[in-house]
Chains A and B, each alone.
Chain A
Amino acid sequence: MTPARPNRVLVTGVSNPLGAEVARRLAPQVPYLFGCDVHDPISAIEEMDFVHADVRHAAIGKLVSRLQIDTVVHLAVMVDSPHAERSIHETDVIGTMNILVGCSGPSSRVRRLIVKSSQAVYGAGPTDPSFFSEDMTNPERPASSVTRDLLDLEQLVAEFALREESCQVSVLRLGFRVSEDTTLARYLSLPVVPTFAGFDPRLQLLHEEDAAEAIVRAVLGDHPGVFNVAAGGVVLLSQAIAIMGGSPAPILPPYGRWMGRLALRAFAGVNLPAHLADVIAYGSVMDTSRLEAAFGWEPVYTSRAVMDALARGKDLEVVEAPSPPQEYELQVYLQRRRREARNGHRATPKLPAHR
């Protein structure tokens, strides 16, 4: 069964830069666009109805059914975040569970679900193959908390996809991004970058624009399954540091990742998550041939171009500055007018009783 074109689309986590970019690209392409997040959106999109909603609460399921959503784009998945492990677990696993509950059931109208995952799901280690295909996740490995959360999340989504045959599920494992204010970007921009002594791993990155484009293509196209999304080619850690104009300092102890992380936090002020510490020791590269075959598209930026773009500081312009509060007010007003027009009666602004 081929699902129809997406009609009523809900984007969760729309207030992070990636979610905002996806919403901006989707807005002209779908009839009805809804966005939800716990924070105010960073940019006003007139075509989007914004709802304050937290995926960690079960109410999100009700939102999905009440709004008669047929396509859910689940981007409220934290991978690289300053929040505590506990909070990340709540958002990633419990949040996804709530979304899935909203999408399941015989009365559900949801026909397409796109879930954002991350390259961090593979972890990184010396015994790994040089390229991760989609089936190479390793649940047995003592992994970092984020990797464990992502594995749990993907397990839930896989079970959902088996259970609900009428819903088409795409999972996009996005490569590491340095274009927004990520920990990896902050680490690579240090003037003197402490690295693990004797290691110079390959890094694979993903540009913000390519990430958004892949998600939009997954929404509008017809691509069920799990896909690795990452830039072509690799860049060595030492190269990346040199491109950023820093100089590598191989001073972190080669054994005992936690010591290196502690030193980084104390002396460089970068709180590197455990999965990223493994990545800058052993490197992690994904095989994107399945994406290229299914989507007929590949990321525009190579890993090296992503680094070059970061070094040029061009990406600072991609992320929009927060709109002024008036614009947000205007957006809310326009939304209300549109909603009322859709419901049949004229938009007659009613004054609140207490005024």
Chain B
Amino acid sequence: MIQEQVTPRQRKKNSKPAEIVRPRSGLGLPKQVRRLQRQAPVYALKGLSELSVRLRDLTGRNVIDLNRIMSVAQFVYKQQELARRGANYEVDEFGFDPQWTESFLSVFEVLYRDYWRVETTGVENVPATGRALLVANHAGVLPWDGTMIKTAVFAEHSHPRHVRALVASMFLGMPVLSWFLRRTGQTVGHPDDTRRLLERDELVLVFPEGVRGTGKSFKDRYRLRRFGRGGFVATAIRSRAPIIPVSVVGSEEIYPMVADLAPLARLFGLPYFPVTPFWPWLGPLGMIPLPSKWRIQFHEPIHVEENPPEAADDQNLVMALADEVRNTIQQGIYDNLKLRRGVFL
């Protein structure tokens, strides 16, 4: 092939003016202001740290815990980082995104340590590997107890693990909640789902009381409701998983529910419509939970998996085991109530 000679004149004729790539001028603010904008978080943190040092010198104790503030700042940056993943992340078949969940656990840890000052005992009863069914009492209008149990196992255990809670199907039909719950590893409370999770050697958290537990009024606090029909025991026996009873104290006081407006609940398709001293009078402010003092106790595992799989159909045995779990949790609640000095202490 003959190379065609291109004269400088032709080259000039064919060429296009180069596109000048320059950074966008932003909001048109002067350079100094933009630099200040960029540096603002750093200055804020610096100021806070100085303030905390001053306060510590003055009062002799940690008034502002910088670690906690740093973890919140970290959360913000983590979210930005997660957003940058685009579609390049894997979720498991239940829609669980571990990285995303861990970014939220750092925030829940602030609630866990500083807001509700949770004291957790017996976390070593949770196996480091392999399947187990955690069974807990359910209280408080919103399922903060589930969140705190998840945080407890993730933050306190020598092998941090994700707990997969089972939630009422009603919540999975609600916007935002369904998305958040699925993404953080929760799934619908269906026996088939429980079996599948246990067969993947996961830690599964179940609240057999269901909405009967969360929707009970303040005067019934710490009195366990009926534990379903013992279905969780049958599933544990079939899936060869030990049951670990969990007693949670403190969750009853976060929203002291004095009345239930059943007609309104029916109108919105909810199982109950709570009335607390603050909700619905204060609007969204009423949704802030009270800072009660919490204790979580993980009990010794009950080895239901030692029964043969046929035992799952033995209703007598199943109900007896369900009662045993229930009594263990109830006893644990009484013990921990005694250990607690006061509702808010």
Contacts and interface: CB of A to CB of B under 8 A. Distances in A.
Partners in one complex: yes
Interface of A: 125-131, 133, 136, 196-202, 233-236, 238-240, 242-243, 254, 282-283, 285, 304
A interface: dominant SS: loop
Nearest to A241: B87
B95 A198 contact: no
B172 A200 contact: no
B192 A198 contact: no
A58 B179 CA distance: 48
A126 B178 contact: yes
B182 A202 contact: yes
Given A128-B188, A130-B187, A202-B182, A234 B175 contact: no
B169 to A, nearest CB: 4
A134 to B, nearest CB: 12
Contact of A234 (B91, B188, B190, B196): B91
A131 B93 CA distance: 9
Contacts of A240: 87
A136 B87 CA distance: 31
A170 B36 CA distance: 69
A235 B172 CA distance: 18
Q: Which 9 A-B residue pairings sit nearest by Cβ, starting from the closest?
A: A198-B175, A126-B173, A242-B87, A254-B175, A198-B176, A129-B190, A127-B169, A239-B87, A200-B179
B101 to A, nearest CB: 14
Contact of B175 (A130, A197, A233): A197
B174 interface: yes
16 contacts: A126-B172, A128-B169, A129-B193, A130-B94, A131-B196, A133-B192, A136-B192, A199-B175, A201-B95, A234-B93, A234-B95, A239-B87, A239-B89, A240-B87, A243-B87, A282-B178
A136 B91 CA distance: 24
B26 interface: no
A131 B169 contact: no
B179 A198 contact: yes
A254 B190 CA distance: 23
B170 A130 contact: no
A236 B188 contact: no
A288 to B, nearest CB: 11
Contacts of A202: 91, 93-95, 182
A238 B87 CA distance: 8
Interface in B276-334: none
Given A234-B93, A239-B87, A243-B87, A129 B175 contact: no
Interface in B157-202: 169-170, 172-179, 182-183, 187-188, 190, 192-193, 196
Contacts of A282: 172-173, 178
A211 B286 CA distance: 53
A126 B93 contact: no
Contacts of A236: 91, 95
B176 A130 contact: no
Task: Pick the most buried of B87, B173, B183, B192: most chain A CB atoms within 10 A of its CB.
Answer: B87
A202 B90 CA distance: 12
Interface in B117-136: none
Contacts of B87: 238-240, 242-243
Contacts of A130: 93-94, 187-188, 190, 192-193, 196
Contacts of B179: 198-200
Task: Pick the most buried of B90, B183, B192: most chain A CB atoms within 10 A of its CB.
Answer: B192
A242 B83 CA distance: 12
Given A198-B175, A238-B87, A240-B87, 17 more contacts: A126-B169, A126-B170, A127-B173, A129-B190, A129-B193, A130-B93, A198-B174, A200-B179, A201-B95, A202-B94, A202-B95, A236-B95, A239-B87, A239-B91, A242-B86, A243-B87, A282-B178
A196 B192 CA distance: 27
Interface string B85-115: 0110111011100000000000000000000
Contacts of B93: 130-131, 202, 233-234, 285
A128 B182 CA distance: 14
Contacts of B170: 126
Task: Pick the most buried of B175, B187, B190: most chain A CB atoms within 10 A of its CB.
Answer: B175
A191 to B, nearest CB: 16
A178 B190 CA distance: 30
B99 to A, nearest CB: 13
Contacts of A285: 93
B210 to A, nearest CB: 14
A244 to B, nearest CB: 9
Nearest to A232: B93
B174 A127 contact: no
A129 B95 contact: no
A233 B94 CA distance: 9
A178 to B, nearest CB: 15
Contacts of A233: 93
Nearest to B176: A198
Contacts of A304: 90
Task: Pick the most buried of A129, A133, A202, A236: most chain B CB atoms within 10 A of its CB.
Answer: A129
A285 B94 CA distance: 9
B82 to A, nearest CB: 12
Contacts of A234: 91, 93, 95
A257 B178 CA distance: 16
Contacts of A235: 91
Contacts of B175: 196-199, 254
A301 to B, nearest CB: 15
Contacts of B94: 130, 202
Nearest to A239: B87
B171 to A, nearest CB: 8
Nearest to B194: A129
B193 to A, nearest CB: 5
A287 B177 CA distance: 25
Nearest to A240: B87
A200 B175 CA distance: 9
Task: Pick the most buried of A130, A131, A242, A283: most chain B CB atoms within 10 A of its CB.
Answer: A130
